[in-house]
Amino acid sequence: MRAVDIIHKKRNGGELTNDELSFLIKGYSQGEIPDYQMSAWAMAIYFRGMNAEETAYLTMAMAESGDQVDLSPIRGIKVDKHSTGGVGDKTSLVIGPLVASCGVPVAKMSGRGLGHTGGTIDKMQSMPGFRTELTREDFIAQVNDIGVAIIGQSGDMAPADKKLYALRDVTATVESIPLIASSVMSKKIAAGADAIVLDVKTGSGAFMKTLDDSEKLAMAMVEIGTKVGRRTAALISDMDQPLGFAIGNALEVREAIETLHGRGPADLTELCIALASHMVVLGGQAANLEEAENLLREKLRSGEALAKFKQFVAAQGGNPEVGDDPSLLPQAPVIVEVPAPKNGHVHAIQAEELGLAAMLLGAGREKTDSVIDYAVGITLQRKVGEPVREGETIALLHVREDNAAVQAVSKRVQDAYSIGTDELSPSPLLLSIVTESGIKRI
Ligand code: URA
């Protein structure tokens, strides 16, 4: 078999076989197929696409290129959740304990933040003492014991995807639905869950800017999951503004705790309940979404979800008291108010810009080795649809000191708000549900 023949076949619109895709991925991983051939192949995929079968073969070849986590010693149906990246997205911190309190085991590996997106691992580490590295044995024992563990990625999972993603980044081949779908799913499949719930973001702050494209991406991922025996469902949610009010590690943990108390922001609560409902159904603890939602609301109301959060924090070395007293979290000493530049109604808030602003304050990483400050960040005081008057505070910056750099960030936050004269109701957060039986607009 030769790489050039496979590139030629795809360039001319042919369908690649499992053997051909395995040959390419193995050869590329082992350094036998050079970057220039993989670039040409990725560009051929970009233009010609791949059908569901080919996408599933590519996914499995990448999942099998490195370590694969064996979660079989954990009792029950393990359901994982993945978000395609959002600003202010602290759903895993709520959903982990919430779903576990319904009897669905959550054995989750999460990532660190980079650029405008935060990472669950950084958020959890803002709780003093919290450990995000556990041995595989301790990870499994904790899930069997209390139902939930969330740790950083360990081992070498889907290294072929890592190499290919870096190549796509510099060859203008990231924005291909089959390549994104196989990239995301290869990592999820290597992480070992039996079922997967995906939160696919759409809008200005997301990979996919239109609902149609987001649905196609979601469908491609659901088809991969279904073909390889992992039941998968996806929700499409709007990313035309940050989720909740808080952006920044400890600030987001505080908001997640508020949500577990049942008094979190409406959008965050709605998304957590929707994603968790699918997880509870796939995990076999409810017969349908309505039953799952009732169960989840009851777990929030009764305090069982919060109790599970405290148990989870304690098991990973943190102070469980943080669940009742978020003032135990690191707090920035200075708060700077960002004023509205004019009268009107908030029409949009560029999520990506606010993610970058939080990063510039020190809440995120510019480079993989940047050091972050857990206390700093932004809390929004106005969201889309709300009226504002000139000079009124639209956001608060939580910082170590006020200085010229902070003032520059303040201007950036102000500019991220679009303020118009007309009244405007915010667009709905949840837009579509994608399952193996099809796409349903909400
Ligand atoms: N995220 C991934 O993990 N892979 C992609 O290709 C795009 C986004």
82-91, 109-118, 416-425: least confident range: 109-118
- CATH of segment(s) 330-420: 3.90.1170.30
3 with 44: CB under 8 angstroms?
Answer: no
119-123, 148-152, 346-350, 366-370: least confident range: 366-370
CA of 176 to the centre of ligand 1 (A): 10
- Assess whether pLDDT exceeds 70 at residue 214: yes
329 with 322: CB under 8 angstroms?
Answer: yes
- Assess whether pLDDT exceeds 80 at residue 150: yes
- Give the separation between CA 32 and CA 322, rounded to whole angstroms: 52
User: What is the mean predicted confidence (pLDDT) over 84-89?
Assistant: 86
CA of 118 to the centre of ligand 1 (A): 15
Active-site residue, 82 included: yes
User: What is the mean predicted confidence (pLDDT) over 69-80?
Assistant: 96
Residue 341: burial class (beta carbons within 10 Å; 0-12, 13-18, 19+): middle
**Domain ranges within the chain, ordered by starting residue:** 3-49, 79-325+430-441, 330-420
Active-site residue, 161 included: yes
pTM recorded for the entire structure: 0.95
CA of 221 to the centre of ligand 1 (A): 12
Active-site residue, 10 included: no
2-6, 22-26, 117-121, 378-382: least confident range: 117-121
To the nearest 10°, the Cα dihedral for 404, 407, 413, 414? Answer: -140
- Give the separation between CA 224 and CA 213, rounded to whole angstroms: 17
User: What is the mean predicted confidence (pLDDT) over 108-125?
Assistant: 88
Q: Is the CB of 44 under 6 A from ligand 1?
A: no
* 177-191 pLDDT per residue, tens: 999 999 999 999 999
* 297-328 pLDDT per residue, tens: 999 999 999 999 999 999 999 999 999 999 99
Q: Is the CB of 165 under 6 A from ligand 1?
A: yes
User: Who has greater pLDDT, 401 or 425?
Assistant: 401
Q: Which atom of ligand 1 is nearest to the CA of 183?
A: 4
User: Who has greater pLDDT, 85 or 48?
Assistant: 48
User: What is the mean predicted confidence (pLDDT) over 387-416?
Assistant: 98
Q: Crossing angle for the helix pair 91-100 and 266-282, nearest 10 degrees?
A: 40
User: What is the mean predicted confidence (pLDDT) over 357-384?
Assistant: 94
3-49: which CATH architecture?
Answer: Up-down Bundle (1.20)
81, 123, 168, 383: the catalytic one is 168
User: What is the mean predicted confidence (pLDDT) over 242-246?
Assistant: 96
Residue 235: what are its φ and ψ, rounded to 5°?
Answer: -115, 140
Q: Which atom of ligand 1 is nearest to the CA of 165?
A: 6
48 with 223: CB under 8 angstroms?
Answer: no
Tell me what percent of the residues of the chain surpass a pLDDT of 70.
100
pLDDT confidence of 205, banded at 50, 70, 90?
low
Q: Kindly write down the DSSP assignment for every residue of 408-421, as one continuous string.
A: HHHHHHHHHEEEES
pLDDT confidence of 206, banded at 50, 70, 90?
confident
83, 92, 110, 183: the catalytic one is 183
- Give the separation between CA 227 and CA 290, rounded to whole angstroms: 27
Looking at residue 180, its pLDDT comes to 96
79-325+430-441: which CATH architecture?
Answer: 3-Layer(aba) Sandwich (3.40)
